[in-house]
Amino acid sequence: MTHPNGYVPLLLTADETAGVLRTTRRAVYAMVERGQIGGVTRIGRRVLFQRDDLLDWVRQKCAPSPKE
């Protein structure tokens, strides 16, 4: 997700989003079709993901670790 110069784009591609989620591009598109992922932006036929909204969505989905 981070570019060589340290810049992180505001809009991520499906491949970059898959990297953030540690999944495949195909799984990302399936989540988009089912409405299961946040931060989706469509520009023409392209599906992009708003970085901040995606990261907020991930934080909301995280479950706390069970206490031992």
Domain boundaries of the chain, sorted by first residue:
11-59
- Predicted local distance difference test score (pLDDT) of residue 64: 72
**pLDDT beyond 90 at 22:** yes
| Token pair in block for residue 25 | 């591009």
**How confident is the model over 37-51, as a mean pLDDT?**
94
Range list of β-strands (E), the chain:
11-12, 40-43, 46-50
CB-CB neighbours of 56 under 10 Å = 13
- Predicted local distance difference test score (pLDDT) of residue 26: 97
pLDDT averaged over the chain?
A: 88
- Predicted local distance difference test score (pLDDT) of residue 3: 61
Instruction: Compute the distance between CA of residue 49 and CA of residue 57 in angstroms, rounded to an integer.
Output: 11
What is the architecture of the domain spanning 11-59?
Answer: Orthogonal Bundle (1.10)
